[in-house]
Structure 1
Amino acid sequence: MSTSGFAAYHHMGEIDSGFFVQTYPDKAGTKLDSCTLCHSGGSYVQNGKVTTLGSCQWCHYSYGYDASGKIDETLNPYGLVYKTMGRSSSALKAIEDLDSDGDGYPNKVEIAALRFPGDKSDDPSKVPAPYRVFSREQLECLPQHTQFLLMNAHKSTDFYAEYTGVSMEDLLKAAGMLATATNIKVFAPDGFSQYHPLNFDPNPIFYHVFGGYPSTVYNYSENADISENPEGWCDYSSLVGSGVKNGDPIENEDGLKLVLAVFRDGDYLDPGILTPQNKLDGEGPFRVVPPQKVPGPPDQRSTATNQNVTWPFDPAADHNAGFSTRSTTIIKVEPLPEGTTDINTLETGWKYVDEGKIVVYGAIDPVPTILGKMDALLATLKSSSWKSFKNPIYQKILLIEVSLAKQLAKYGKHKAALKLLRNSVLEHADGCSTAEGHPDKDDWVTDCNLQKKVYWDLHELIVLFGIIV
């Protein structure tokens, strides 16, 4: 998975990114070359909803653009000790042998393995979970679902709209969801996240993935219509609703479902942007649209002083708009498979908004990820100098063995592919990753920098194969 989006954090006069790249030049542009190296994310609860922020947004939220907060509260254990040691290249070198996050691995080992030294859940023994990246064009090639419905909000304007996209159920099937999956979490780049169980849950704020939602009727009131009443609270301007009268059944040919929407009223969704107030404006390129579990009319805004209206605010009403994730860029399928950890999510969100992409990761079929990682490993071996090997012939043998393992995986021979990688390839590239820290007599890769990369690439492949073997 590309990590180029992580490096876009050299801002506000900060100096630490330069020190890190100076100390570890080969890590420039990787996931470590980011705010998350030293800063942690965080969560806050508002109106009963949990919003989880990535390291950048959490820093802006808790420390503030005006630096009025406490910076230490945004730092992870690695960032705290780095700050204590003086924030310099020498400080980074001085803390290499420490285990800042207490996961059993020294900082330098985690950095070599592209793992965050300040995040206990991200250690070299775990690998990023399987993932699939979908472009907007690919989503449009999946079965399409269209539905006209009410988006009922707490404070903002309610509205009726027609959304078209992919049902979440069909998207997860296309991603190869595993039978072990129980729920998903969806994320927007501003840090908003939402939990969705796969099956129906009686909790009114948990909008399910599988199955439909109850049909409803069109609720119109001139009193509520913002085009007729300056104090109205519902937008009825969608042309799809023209000609529909109050109380008429809303007809949706395929019913109502939890949908990842691409279109609204026939047009692509407006891409989301982050305002100077650190708020998300817009809803595209993708929006998770949950229908009401308990159908009802558009009720008055909770903040309105005049509640003597047709439909006054009802705190018990189904305010589905508040659980609709705008500018969705990440879908996490839980629980994560054993031995895996989160891919890098919130930090790359805006990159996906710009490119019109969404990533699905977690409890999904690992084979596409395995094949992609094998291609990367083959490219590494092929582009390396023959001088990095005990003998040039060993470079060719390793290329043949990894290519064979890839073909076995491609045609479903997963056990055979795993056995080949574990018993034949790995044993010739593991000496530098042991306590001795140098090639052993069985190693064919003799350059330790190359060998460590090959070793960790093989480790990731072995863990991923373990999901299905």
Structure 2
Amino acid sequence: MISRAYVGHATDADMKGFIRQYPAAAGTRLDDCQTCHRGGVRGKDAEREYSPCGYCHLLVYPNPKYATGVPKTMADTLNAYGLEYKKAGRAFEAFEAIAGLDSDGDGHRNGAEIADLRNPGDPDSRPGLPPAPTIVLGWDELKKLPVQSQLMLMNTTKEATDDYVVYKGVRVIDLLASAKVYLIGITGITVFAPDGYSIDYDLKDINEPFPKGVFYAEPRSFEGSERAFVKYPENLPPGVKDRTKIPTVPWLLLAYERDGLPLDPSSYEKGTGRLTGEGPFRLVKPQRDIRGDRMKPGRPDRSQMSKMYEDGWDFVPGMDHNAGACIRGACVIRINPMPEGYEEYDWKNGWPLIGEKKVVIYGRGVR
């Protein structure tokens, strides 16, 4: 049976051999790159490559933003179990040869961990530690929840344009309520992208509305020129006027539509390590602080990389560039603080959830 994680590596004998040795692992989380590979090095700037897939890809597609912790050989990407497998000969027989070892030093032999569907290369994954309870919501279930539609500015830092966007989805506070997760004792949430990238949102982000944004039509006059820097939806919601507050009160939102169309599925862009596409779900955070320019509060501004035109629309460092606080391909939500005595949900590889159009919720208060 072919591993789901190696669909792009059809000739990978290692994973085929692992499934041959441990057929019960087929289709589980061990049927995955991270059984033998790890993410970035802790304490190094490459630590931001949380997914083993992204970390391995640095060998073929180097990313110049990383200076430390960058792998130089495939062996540099292996976890403790992967290193033992390589040392034992990297052949089918090696799996049985290392079954009695405790590669990750957690007190459990590799074979016992694999039989219990625990990761033999991760000391935080071991038999006896119950997996965190989870709630899984699919596309159809999420679309039955109360709908929030909001026009908002996605203010970027380095991208060529800022965007006024009409996002449609479910408020995070309604999402948690539907999952019967109550806010007592909760400090916030962590939302994960399919490659393991994450952003934390505090209780205020969840529980309170954001300030109404202000709509600016003037940048439309720059369209077709080198000064252009704002994109607008084809149709604006009723009541939206230039230099006035947008009527709808915005919230922290799990969006599934943009300007009336489903979000494009997220995918991994080789060569840059970036995610392209937004969906099927994107966690969007409106601007919390619209005071960056007292004369034009909540305005869009040009890219940090753009030349200065001194026309009132240039980049301002103090602006709330909220686009960077949003998560493309949001697929896993952890409710913080994580309760003790549980193994975390495997958020390092959320790609199967993207294809299945599902969101996993786990952590405090999830039953």
Which whole-Å CA distance do the structure 2 matches of 1:36 and 1:287 have between them?
A: 25
Retained in 1: the 8 A contact 2:135–2:366? no
Q: Is the 8 A contact 1:7 1:31 kept in 2?
A: no
Report deviation, 1:176: 2.4
Residue 21 (structure 1) shift:
2.0
The separation in 2 between residues aligned to 1:79 and 1:162, in whole angstroms, is 46
User: Equivalent of 1:218, from 211, 215, 231?
Assistant: 215
Distance 1:77 1:297 in 2: 50
Q: For residues 294-352 of structure 1, give each alpha carbon's deviation from its aligned partner in whole angstroms, at most 9, with x where no partner exists.
A: 112111101112353322111221000111111211112222222211222332x2322
- Tell whether 2:278 aligns with 1:283: yes
Question: Which amino acid in the other structure matches residue 217 of structure 1?
Answer: V
Helix, strand or coil at the partner of 1:239 = coil
Greater helix percent: which structure? Answer: 1
TM-fit CA distance, 1:171: 0.6
SS at match of 1:262: strand
1:109-132 deviations in Å (ceiling 9; x for gaps): 111111001101111121221111
Query: Which of structures 1 and 2 has the larger relative contact order (alpha carbons within 8 angstroms, sep 6+)?
Result: 2
- Unpaired runs of 5+ residues, structure 1, are 200-207, 367-469
Pairwise CA distance, 1:145: 1.3
> Which residue identity is paired with 1:137?
D
Which TM-score applies when normalising by structure 2?
0.86
Q: CA deviation at 1:45?
A: 10
Question: What's the secondary structure of 1:150's corresponding residue?
Answer: strand
1:215 to 1:307, Cα distance in 2 relative to 1, 3 A: same
Shift of 1:262: 1.5
For 1:158 and 1:50, the matched residues in 2 are separated by: 29
What residue in structure 1 maps to residue 356 of structure 2? Answer: 355
Partner residue of 1:335? 337
Question: In 2, Cα distance between the equivalents of 1:130 and 1:266?
Answer: 34
Residue 150 of structure 1, CA deviation: 0.7
Question: Which whole-Å CA distance do the structure 2 matches of 1:103 and 1:225 have between them?
Answer: 63
* Structure 2 counterpart of 1:87: 90
**Residue correspondences, number:** 349
Q: Give the Cα separation in 2 of the matches to 1:305 and 1:74.
A: 40
Flag the 1:36–1:185 CA change in 2: closer, same or farther, 3 A.
Answer: same
> Are the equivalent residues in 2 in contact too, given 1:167–1:259 (CA < 8 A)?
yes
Matches within 5 A, 1:314-333: 314-333=316-335
Matches within 5 A, 1:229-248: 229-240=225-236, 244-248=240-244
What amino acid is aligned across from residue 365 of structure 1 in structure 2?
V
Q: Percent identity?
A: 38
The Cα shift of 1:13 comes to: 4.2
What is the match of residue 308 of structure 2? Answer: 306
Structure 1 residue 12: Cα displacement: 6.7
Aligned match of 2:257: 263
Unaligned runs of 5+ in 2: 63-69, 291-297
Cα distance between partner residues in 2 of 1:43 and 1:52: 9
Q: Deviations over 1:214-235 (max 9, x none)?
A: 123212323x656353331111
Q: Separation in 1 of the partners of 2:130 and 2:351?
A: 24
- The answer (yes or no) to whether the contact 2:152–2:166 under 8 Å persists in 1 is yes
The answer to whether 1:34 aligns with 2:32 is: yes
Which residue does 1:125 correspond to in 2? 128
Cα distance change, pair 350–130 in 1 and its aligned pair in 2 (3 A): same
- The aligned amino acid for 1:267 is L
* Partner secondary structure for residue 263 of structure 1: strand
Who is 1:198 aligned against?
203
Letter matched to residue 172 of structure 1: L
Distance in 2 (alpha carbons) for counterparts of 1:211 and 1:320: 16
Question: Higher mean Cα deviation, 20-29 or 64-73?
Answer: 64-73
Q: Secondary structure at the match of 2:190?
A: strand
In 2, the alpha carbon distance for the partners of 1:359 and 1:130 equals 10
141, 144, 147: which is aligned to 1:141?
A: 144
1:80-139 CA-partner distances (Å, limit 9, x unpaired) = 122122212232222222211111111121111110011011111212211111112211
CA contact (8 A) 2:40 2:47 kept: no
1:414-465 Cα distance to aligned partner (Å, 9 max, x none): xxxxxxxxxxxxxxxxxxxxxxxxxxxxxxxxxxxxxxxxxxxxxxxxxxxx
TM-score between the two structures when normalised by the length of structure 1: 0.68
Larger radius of gyration: 1
Q: How far 1:7 moved relative to its partner?
A: 4.5
